[in-house]
Structure 1
Amino acid sequence: MKRVITLIFTILISNLVYALKIENDFIIDSRGNKIVKKEYKKVLILDPAAVEAFYLIGGENNIVAIADTAKNPIWPQEKTKDLPKAGTIMKPSVEQVLMYSPDLVILNTMSESFGESLKARKLNFIINEANSFEQILNNLEIYGVITGKEENTDRLIDSYNLKLKMIKEKIAEKPLKIKGGFLFSTSPMMVFSPNSLPGQIFDTLGIENIAKGLPGGRPILSPEFLLAENPDILVGSMAIKNKNDILNSNPVVKQTKAGQKGNIMIIESDKILRGTPRVIDALEELYKELSNVK
């Protein structure tokens, strides 16, 4: 029994600390899908974060097609807008995927079920996922292997680790010491949990997350709970496009400190919610913007 408990605990911990990993000459994702550790010349990417990662490390020539994101552009937009498309993130096209004859397909968690269609056709695939800065930079290292750009990737990871260290030191000298909620939606009012990437951003900035202790990845806030927590700031993203969407979502919002002082802001989701190192750049910008919040 003790061995079984130890094994279960080990599995749970390993799933928390990595999204992609290299083990015995294989690249393995957090769902157990695995591919041979090598360079792949024709990669079809159905995850915007992975597309951005490829461009950051200079591996864009390995991309044969991407998913159409419709509303949210993929950085660098002037280059990615002209890439061939193979359906959308939520609805990839099997026919279009096959048309590009990829030697690897990279999915995200929203298109995870599409992996069964790929598996049936014996196509290599992995799922990209990142809920922390550590996982983002770890995944970048894996993509360095996949694109054959290990040297570029190592330099980039070093620079972002240094940048993250400097940001954390700056925040430690002057932490924000405010309470806030990072909203996923307004109707119902849902917030990101502390275990999400937005949650880690709040934690790094020194913002007390009102979702702490609530069950689920995106818990729903009742008006009574929101009023009792009385956040200093409310941050909106995803489908929330302007401050009035938050202010007018519930009369209680205007009774909170955030509503009364106008401490409500909107962040473009592609800057802060996509698991790429660009989130670290946005973290620095966000800290500057929030430094004057009282």
Structure 2
Amino acid sequence: MLEKLLKILCVCMGLFSFAFAQAPKMIVLDPAIVEILYALKAEDRILAIAKMQAPIKPADKTSKLPVVGTFSHPSIEDILRLKPDYVILNSYAMGIKPQLDNFNIKNLSFEAHSLEQIKNNILEIGKIVGKNQEAQKIVGKFETDIQELKKDSLGLQGAFIYSTAPLMLFGGDTLPSDILELLGIQNIAKEVHGKRPIIEQEFLLKNPPQILFYGVRVDSESGLLNSLPLLKNTEAFTHKRLFYMQLHSLLRGSPNIIDEIKQLKEEIKKKI
């Protein structure tokens, strides 16, 4: 009997050691993936992250993580020193991919141009870290929240402004456009070619917005109106529906985006 118990114990310990050895360690340069890993309760896989100006949730924990350079300029030397199993790149750090390939370091990047892609990213990260069941639960709640947000459509037309000089709006096939659609706001630039097309200012008069969002390259309403004085002729201005947004958090492709969208919807409803 004792011999059988010892055999079972050895097998269990072997399986535990194998699982622990297989748990991949990552350097995560994409803040959205950092938040996904925390949602999956797989933060122990994170060796280091990139330094960000905007906080990464949960900020009280991520602020204590080691860093390997900045979001756009990660340090290849620091990455090599930590010997990660994976490096998760962001779109601004793709320049180091050839170096990672040369050192045979596995690297991945994830696009988040839609809510559907965010769901797929959660599932993919779940597979990598062995948290498939947790990922399915998160995606299930994500889908339920999306269906809830679709109720009580706002019934407006508007746009996300990327820059004012030149005037650039977020077009279709982008996360901002997806968010607008979810809220029941028709993106006036949805059919314009490109993800951030340059637009003539007269476009805003031909397609008058009832609501506008800004916050990437313009940080005040006065600055927005100085650059685009014709906005004073739109319903968005007359009904005080010019919304300054912390777009870096709103457009971060993690499960936390749902809370940001819910908060945005409540703010909009106060002005309708």
Q: Under a length normalisation based on structure 1, what TM-score does the superposition of the two structures give?
A: 0.81
The letter of the residue matching 1:197 is L
Match of 2:176 among 181, 198, 217: 198
Is contact 1:198-1:273 (8 Å) kept? Answer: yes
Deviations 1:193-237 (A, max 9, x none): 121001001111111111122121101222211122121111013
Match of 2:214 among 224, 236, 246: 236
Aligned to 2:44: 61
Q: Matches of 2:65 and 2:216 in 1, distance apart?
A: 24
Q: Matches of 2:111 and 2:23 in 1, distance apart?
A: 19
Aligned to 2:96: 114
Given the alignment of the two structures, is residue 279 of structure 1 paired with residue 257 of structure 2, yes or no?
Answer: yes
Aligned to 2:72: 90
Alignment map for 1:171-186 (pairs within 5 Å): 174-186=152-164
Q: Matches of 2:45 and 2:28 in 1, distance apart?
A: 10
The letter of the residue matching 1:157 is V
5+ residue gaps, structure 1, are: 1-37
Aligned to 2:145: 163
Deviations 1:246-272 (A, max 9, x none): 222221122222122221011212332
CA deviation after TM superposition for structure 1 residue 167, in Å: 1.9
Aligned to 1:152: 134
Aligned to 1:143: 125
Greater alpha carbon shift after TM alignment, 241-250 vs 193-202: 241-250
CA deviation after TM superposition for structure 1 residue 107, in Å: 0.5
Q: Matches of 1:46 and 1:39 in 2, distance apart?
A: 21
Q: Matches of 1:108 and 1:284 in 2, distance apart?
A: 26
- Classify 1:40/1:241 alpha carbon distance in 2 versus 1 (closer, same or farther; 3 Å): farther
Secondary structure at 2:109's aligned position in 1?
A: strand
How many residues were matched structurally?
252
**Cα RMSD after superposing both structures:** 1.7
The letter of the residue matching 2:245 is I
Q: Matches of 1:237 and 1:128 in 2, distance apart?
A: 24
Deviations 1:43-79 (A, max 9, x none): 001111111111111111100001111x211111111
Q: Matches of 2:251 and 2:91 in 1, distance apart?
A: 13
Secondary structure at 2:24's aligned position in 1?
A: coil
The letter of the residue matching 2:157 is K
Structure whose alpha-carbon radius of gyration is higher: 2
Is contact 1:179-1:232 (8 Å) kept? Answer: yes
Q: Matches of 2:96 and 2:162 in 1, distance apart?
A: 25
Is contact 2:175-2:251 (8 Å) kept? Answer: yes
Q: Under a length normalisation based on structure 2, what TM-score does the superposition of the two structures give?
A: 0.87
Q: Matches of 2:211 and 2:183 in 1, distance apart?
A: 13
Match of 2:241 among 263, 267, 280: 263
Match of 1:41 among 24, 45, 49: 24
The letter of the residue matching 2:106 is N
Is contact 1:181-1:191 (8 Å) kept? Answer: yes
Is contact 2:156-2:186 (8 Å) kept? Answer: yes
Give % identity. 36
5+ residue gaps, structure 2, are: 1-20
The letter of the residue matching 2:174 is S
Q: Matches of 1:236 and 1:266 in 2, distance apart?
A: 5
- Classify 1:241/1:229 alpha carbon distance in 2 versus 1 (closer, same or farther; 3 Å): same
Q: Matches of 2:44 and 2:218 in 1, distance apart?
A: 34
CA deviation after TM superposition for structure 1 residue 180, in Å: 0.5
Is contact 1:39-1:146 (8 Å) kept? Answer: no
The letter of the residue matching 1:98 is L
Q: Matches of 1:280 and 1:102 in 2, distance apart?
A: 31
CA deviation after TM superposition for structure 1 residue 182, in Å: 0.4
Greater alpha carbon shift after TM alignment, 151-160 vs 91-100: 151-160
The letter of the residue matching 2:248 is D
The letter of the residue matching 2:120 is N
